[in-house]
Structure 1
Amino acid sequence: MDFYLIVLFLFTGILLGFWLNQDNYFVKFADLITKGGLIILLLAMGASLGSNNQIVLQLGEIGFQAFIFAAGSIIFSLLAVIVFVKIFGLNNLLLGADPAAEAEVEEQGTGKTMTVLIFSSVIIGILIGYFLLKGNEQLWLDSLTNYSLALLLFGVGIDIGASREIINDFRLLGWKLLLIPVLIAFGSLFGALLSGLFFGFGAGESAAVGAGFGWYSLSGVLISKLHSAELGSLAFLSNVFRELLTVIILPFVSRYFGSLATIAPGGATTMDVTLPLVKESGGEAVVIPAFVSGAVLSTLVPILVPLFLNF
């Protein structure tokens, strides 16, 4: 989805939510829409992946390598943010909240029912795409994904605007807000370098794959044009895996590592596709930091990928 449309839907929702009271019926209804729409989005994402013949064919050739690259990038991004949270004492982000409020956020982020629904939706979507769709449905799947995402971002924005305590969280983070994507970028690159070393890739090639930060469409195309189709395919599939793994592991990340850590796995996708899931797992307070992080990382992709390929 276009960056300006993302901003439009998200911040229109924020303004509307700020104008409404948190106990307003429409605000509560928006939360239900967000959760229901999230399931539709995940089903559409899974179906899109399952019906993509390019992805299916590449699984047998470079699937294991791509998975290791994705897992390495996620692990070290997550470690970087966890250390950051520990150093600055931002364990649950909502430091000003009372114990009951923190318990509510934790329950929201780690509910077993939502975890099962998230995982099941992705798997069912992939199976539907693989067995029932022929690949020519990609256009309407993309449209369904975009419409679902637009609705979700609007609902997420309403939840943010209606949560007055988020202003205090911004004051708490301050300059640290911009440090989060920097740490995620370094973690992603380090994880990719280690993965590439294991498979015998050059440092520049490995870093270029990691510098996709989950944006598989752009990174795959750039690397294919600037280097080779083989490395471009690896980058494409690796970043597809990063997005898919993010969808699956976010509820567990929130439970064991805190709300801020949910920003790390998705990389650039926390600006759009995985943003509703970050909100669902980590709470409203992490949405704006996640959006900023995703926007910064998305900006870095077309800069860093060509840079590393020239090494």
Structure 2
Amino acid sequence: MQSLITLVLVLMPMFIGFAIPSNPTMTKLADTGLSYLVYLILALIGIELSKVEGLGNQVGEIALYVTVLSILTIGTGLFALMVFDRVRPWHAKKPSVKSKEHRVSIRGSLAQVVCVAIGMVIGYFLPADYMPPENSMTVMLMILILLVGIGLKGSGITLKEVMLNKRGVEMSVIFTLSVLVGGLVFALLFSDVSWTKGLAMASGFGWYSLSAIVMTDAYGAIWGSVALFNDLIREFFALLFIPVFMRKYPSASVGLGGATSLDFTLPIIQQSGGLKVVPLAISFGFLINIVSPVLMVFFSALG
């Protein structure tokens, strides 16, 4: 019952966001609010990390978890989609979706890491009486999902457009299953990681702000930080290697961004593959954004 309640709490704000009539002002406010909220969430995660007993002694262990999990989750998804590109080469159609022109920079990812560090410093000096309330993360999560729903609705994307992009749907299924296999392998490698935790940790798919909250709530600040840095590494890796894979492996290149293919890494996908690849990235990214919170909550609720 608790897992069902949690799932409703995660998905309800997204449906509400979709239900709100969209207009340019609302969409712009949601996008702006989302960018500030992400920084606030990262700072809160830093505050929670600062209160973990013996954190300094666990840094090496955290780094090991992050390294192995990143290699497995990025590697399995990339390999599976590269095989897909070989077996079913992609022939692009004319784009029907207008893309936004954005500048993309790795500095954005670095700023997110800095936010966590600032949060840790604040948490170190913050008296216990002034610590954020226990349900702060849940509230932040619901607001985050609501703003994402408003943003998705305001982008002009319809579920019909997403579901009719056959290759985008196929990619999302292949990517999801292969990355989950990586999560299972991660669980097999570490005796203190259950198969459900391995699957939950793998289900962030690059959505670092969401995975950090859900994993912190489910398994504590240490595992929340592992999820955060695992998904941030995907973002770094995608920014560096999307152009490298785009010419021969367009599906694999789009898949590198995971959930961020819909927003943060979309500009570099467009720059590398042209407008023809944008509808594919939007379809794939949209579906992964829907699937990710469901899988994370589901697997973490199992234990």
What TM-score, normalized by structure 1, do the two folds share? 0.65
2:76 equivalent in structure 1: 80
1:210 equivalent in structure 2: 198
Identity %: 15
Equivalent of residue 22 in structure 2, options 20, 32, 57: 20
The DSSP-based 3-state class of the residue aligned with 2:257 is helix
Q: Structure 2 vs 1, CA of residues 218 and 149 (structure 1 numbering), >3 Å: closer, same or farther?
A: closer
Q: Structure 2 vs 1, CA of residues 43 and 217 (structure 1 numbering), >3 Å: closer, same or farther?
A: closer
Structure 1 segment 1-311 matched on structure 2, within 5 A: 2-16=6-20, 19-21=21-23, 24-50=24-50, 52-54=51-53, 57-60=54-57, 62-89=58-85, 98=95, 104=101, 107=102, 110-130=104-124, 132-140=125-133, 142-165=134-157, 167=159, 168-172=161-165, 173-174=168-169, 176-194=171-189, 196=190, 205=192, 208=195, 210-213=198-201, 215=215, 217-219=217-219, 237=222, 239-246=223-230, 248-255=232-239, 256-257=241-242, 258-263=253-258, 280-282=263-265, 286-301=285-300, 303=302
**How far apart, CA to CA, are the structure 2 residues paired with 1:2 and 1:171?**
30
TM-superposed deviation, 1:187: 0.7
Q: 62-71 or 27-36, which moves further after superposition?
A: 62-71
Which AA in structure 1 matches 2:126?
A: L
Contact in 2 for aligned 1:260/1:282 (Cα 8 Å): no
Which AA in structure 2 matches 1:159?
A: G
TM-superposed deviation, 1:125: 1.0
The DSSP-based 3-state class of the residue aligned with 2:156 is coil
Which AA in structure 1 matches 2:156?
A: R
**How far apart, CA to CA, are the structure 1 residues paired with 2:113 and 2:19?**
32
Q: Structure 2 vs 1, CA of residues 97 and 121 (structure 1 numbering), >3 Å: closer, same or farther?
A: farther
Q: Structure 2 vs 1, CA of residues 169 and 260 (structure 1 numbering), >3 Å: closer, same or farther?
A: farther
Which AA in structure 1 matches 2:22?
A: L
TM-superposed deviation, 1:76: 0.8
Contact in 2 for aligned 1:77/1:184 (Cα 8 Å): yes
Q: Structure 2 vs 1, CA of residues 39 and 84 (structure 1 numbering), >3 Å: closer, same or farther?
A: same
Contact in 2 for aligned 1:74/1:188 (Cα 8 Å): no
Superposed CA RMSD in Å reads 3.6
TM-superposed deviation, 1:160: 0.7
Contact in 1 for aligned 2:7/2:297 (Cα 8 Å): no
Which AA in structure 2 matches 1:37?
A: L
Contact in 1 for aligned 2:16/2:146 (Cα 8 Å): yes
TM-superposed deviation, 1:302: 5.2
**How far apart, CA to CA, are the structure 2 residues paired with 1:136 and 1:278?**
41
Which structure 2 residue ranges, 5 or more long, are not aligned?
202-210, 243-252, 267-281
Structure 1 residues 57-95: Cα deviation after superposition (integer angstroms, max 9, x where no partner):
1541x44234212321222111111123333449xx9x6
Structure 1 residues 159-181: Cα deviation after superposition (integer angstroms, max 9, x where no partner):
11122345433333335544433
Contact in 1 for aligned 2:44/2:119 (Cα 8 Å): yes
**How far apart, CA to CA, are the structure 1 residues paired with 2:63 and 2:180?**
18
What TM-score, normalized by structure 2, do the two folds share? 0.67
Contact in 2 for aligned 1:13/1:156 (Cα 8 Å): yes
Which AA in structure 2 matches 1:10?
A: M
